[in-house]
Structure 1
């Protein structure tokens, strides 16, 4: 049988309260019993002390003999009456004094009188070895002993009534504590577990594919933090699902476009509408190259995502690599009417990188400039050493990218809605690959607004050995 966490928590709190109540009840019973018996014995000893003068006076008044008590035992309790009150004032022997606490508890019934030979004269017969005794001294001579047997258990009706009242009080307090514990257990179970159940239910919906599920818990404790983490996880899963769908749609579109062109070209050649000449072959090769680059970029991204993209890092002169890469694009940039400006140091600028991946990085950024920068513009490429980092900047002229769009430039298939779009020939994967390459080198890449009016790509790489 499956037991809910609410029932488990309720049972745990209730069981703990029950054990605590029982432990407190047992401890209170033991302490009260010991303390109560001690109190009775203490009061009895005080009463014993107060009875000594009366018993001594009776001995004197009856010819210095205990025979009057042997012959008239009914006089015994009269002899035990104190001659003075607690403040030392003499009491009238004709009046019966008010009963003391010890008399109410039956302590005087445990008093006994023994003569000098330790023979009982009067009083309690239940003890042969009294624990408390006081001498009866007359003219400096001990003529007897007044004794009291200690209380070992509650025996009198009044004492038993007192003990029973204590037990009833304990049971009432225990029952009240149990009811209170049960109420608190119910409240705690609901107050603490209701948000946990809400998160659990939301987790089931999330597992079923409802990525828009959110929980609204405003608690500032661990449960509240759990809700925050759950919402963050749900948002991430929702975003990943959206990106997956967008990715599939974008890949389908990017593949359909060149395949559609190829299909149309081949049908035209097959139907005789277009002749198979050098121009048509060049057009087919261009579409195949587009497909090949798209597939290669997708493959590189998939390897980068699982950390399988190979890197053979070594110390490399970044400035010289930039010169060679820019030189390879100089003619294309010139054809587009874009001026290239290199601001590079003459001294080697060493970084610990993979040369092949670094060239791929530079080629992607230079390709973007060729595709998207307006004719008559300019590209400025610079590199410098800043502390232990090598800083590389690609800054071009218009068109620029809006602030809210720059944060998405490194996402797959992302394009702005201005001039940097699919019509320029790009699939929107170049900057995503650039980001993976830079991060694999423990570097950082960032898109900013260019002071020239276009886009500024800032790259930082770790410095290599000089």
Structure 2
């Protein structure tokens, strides 16, 4: 299923469920509130009856005056409650237009007839009441008058007990059984109308929610479709394609990340093409020299002597060195360069490699100044690769430092890092050349003499080794007049040695 429809269905279901809950709650709340209002209205009508009951009790001193004469109770209830209730319908009236009393009310002289004739055997007059919801109880809440009084529970929560008192003297209670459903037809019609109104409103809200959900889903999916189209174009190799988005939300972040990815892929493609062009150029040059010298020997232009053989050997060594550097750099780029990390004392490695090349530096009238600390400095590294790092830096300085110059090497610890500072004298590099020194096959213009220049990969390999040791390397101008290279590597804790 498409994302647009998934969002639409999710939003519609969520809003529909919320609207249904609101409808159910409003219906329940209205029914309860309306029924409570009717019950409170009925209770307020009973206050005059309570006052008359209190007055009768004060006069008689007990409840016998009414419990022994149910006609008085019926007349009292009918006068204070039933007489104020409008007829429910035309069916409640007699053919002559006279309102009929409730079913339990004896008509006219039926009370006296029942007393005389004993009608209603098995049902005494004391159990009759004008309204089965009304009860009379004494001060101890023992029910005196009420329908099925043997079954009434004074603690019933559905009964509202209204105290009958004179001043501070409690005489008894008038009980009112709360309505559990709407009593009149008009009340029920009104409640049904309200429910229909709630239902129409809920249906209208669901339809509106569906329209809003559809519009919102389309609005969310539209930029995603643009992103998807851009990803397809980038996947087909069009790394120049960009997404124009100024959004400040997550979709905008995604668009900008895809643009950065496309830029990175474009740069990598350009770098790969440039890399292949430079590699072919670098390999073609020594091969062309070898081919030219061999052809000269074959044609008899140059004699086959020791000098010719030495020249061929020198070119083959230069070609082998270039191939070795390319191999090291390539396997480092793909992560296949093996490292065996162990705690190493860095000063020992630097001193050993510098001592080996002291004679070579002296032959070029270059002084090696090595400043090592008295306290051992340990790093976690690969001995062979760190020795290669020192060798490459030495070869770079010896190759590009004028005769009579100085190469200064300093090792020290700073906070949690081991710091190697490598400096040499003139010639230096320009500000524009500094950021490119660690690029593959890069050589400054002054070093393009292939008799003295290198492969252009030495500092690149140094950078790869430093990065593999979780360090960082920077190049800057040296106070001695040449190049300054600073390397930082994390110190190895002595507790892990």
- Determine if contact 1:110/1:149 at 8 Å carries over to the other structure: no
Instruction: Give 1:144 deviation, angstroms.
Output: 11
- The alpha-carbon distance between structure 1 residues 222 and 325, as it changes in their structure 2 partners (threshold 3 A), is farther
Aligned to 1:35: 33
User: Which residue of the partner structure matches residue 320 of structure 1?
Assistant: 351
Distance in 2, Cα, partners of 1:309 & 1:410 = 21
**Aligned equivalents of 2:103, 2:356: Cα separation in 1:** 119
- Partner residue of 2:141? none
What's the CA shift string for 1:286-313, capped at 9, x where partnerless? 2211221111112212332315334475
- The reply on whether 1:406 has 2:434 as its aligned counterpart is yes
Structure 1 contact 329–366 (Cα < 8 Å) conserved: no
Superposition deviation, residue 13 in structure 1: 0.4
Residue of structure 1 in register with 2:240 after alignment: 212
State yes or no: 1:309 paired with 2:338: yes
Task: Give the aligned partner of residue 222 of structure 2.
Answer: 194
- Pick aligned residue for 2:410 from 370, 378, 383: 383
* Paired residues of 2:423 and 2:478 also in contact (CA < 8 A): yes
Partner residue of 2:5? Answer: 7
User: Please, which of 223, 226, 231 is the counterpart of residue 203 of structure 1?
Assistant: 231
**Residues 346 and 169 (structure 1 numbering): CA distance in 2 closer, same or farther, change over 3 Å?**
closer
- Find the aligned partners of 1:79 and 1:343 in 2 and give their Cα distance: 118
1:430 aligns with 2:470: no
> Following TM superposition, by how much is the alpha carbon of 1:368 offset from its aligned partner in structure 2, in angstroms?
2.1
Q: Distance in 1 between matches of 2:295 and 2:226?
A: 60
- Taking a change above 3 Å as real, the CA distance of residues 13 and 104 of structure 1, as seen in their structure-2 partners, is farther
Pairing of 1:50-199 with structure 2 (within 5 A): 50=48, 103=86, 113=105, 117-118=125-126, 130-133=132-135, 151-154=179-182, 156-199=184-227
- Alignment check: 8 A CA contact 1:415 1:422 kept: no
Measure, in 2, the Cα distance between the counterparts of 1:143 and 1:166.
38
Q: Is the 8 A contact 1:132 1:147 kept in 2?
A: yes
Match among 372, 382, 385 for residue 357 of structure 1: 385
The equivalent of 1:89 in structure 2 is none
The equivalent residue for 1:23 is 21
SS in 2 for 1:407: helix
Alpha-carbon distance in 2 for matches of 1:160, 1:222: 54
Post-superposition CA distance 1:186-210 (Å, at most 9, x none)? 3432443333333333222222222
* Cα root mean square deviation, aligned: 4.1
Q: CA deviation at 1:420?
A: 3.9
* Range with bigger deviation, 186-195 or 425-434: 186-195
Spell out, residue by residue over 1:381-419, the C-alpha distance to the aligned partner (whole angstroms, 9 max, x if none): 222323464433322234433334322322222334x32
Shift of residue 328 of structure 1? 4.0
Return the alpha-carbon distance in structure 2 between the equivalents of residues 249 and 242 of structure 1.
Answer: 11
Aligned partner (choices 285, 295, 299) of residue 271 of structure 1? 299
What is the alpha-carbon distance in structure 1 between the residues aligned to residue 88 and residue 424 of structure 2? Answer: 107
Checking the alignment, whether the CA contact within 8 Å between 1:258 and 1:287 is kept in structure 2 is yes
**Aligned equivalents of 1:218 and 1:157: distance in 2?**
63
Cα distance, 1:185 vs structure 2: 1.8
Deviation at 1:174, TM superposition (A): 0.9
Deviation string, structure 1 residues 266-294 (Cα, Å, up to 9, x no partner): 22322333332222222222221122111
Q: Within the alignment, does 1:258 sit opposite 2:286 as a pair?
A: yes
Correspondent of 1:299 among 319, 324, 327 = 327
Instruction: Indicate conservation of the 8 Å contact 1:294/1:427, yes or no.
Output: yes
CA gap of 1:23–1:360, structure 2 versus 1, over 3 A, is same
**When the two structures are superposed, what TM-score results if normalisation uses the length of structure 1?**
0.74
Unaligned runs of 5+ in 1: 57-63, 71-75, 83-99, 125-129, 136-141
Q: Are the counterparts in 1 of residues 397 and 407 from structure 2 also a CA contact under 8 Å?
A: no
> What secondary structure, in the 3-state scheme, does the structure 1 residue paired with 2:455 have?
coil
Contact 1:415–1:421 at 8 Å: present in 2 too? yes
Distance (Å, rounded) in 1 between the aligned partners of 2:449 and 2:251: 47
Shift of the alpha carbon at 1:21? 1.1
Report the alpha carbon displacement of residue 431 of structure 1 after superposing the two structures with TM.
0.5
2:478 matched to 1:455? no
Deviation track 1:13-62 (CA, whole Å, cap 9, x = no partner) reads: 01111111112212222232233223223323333555788999xxxxxx
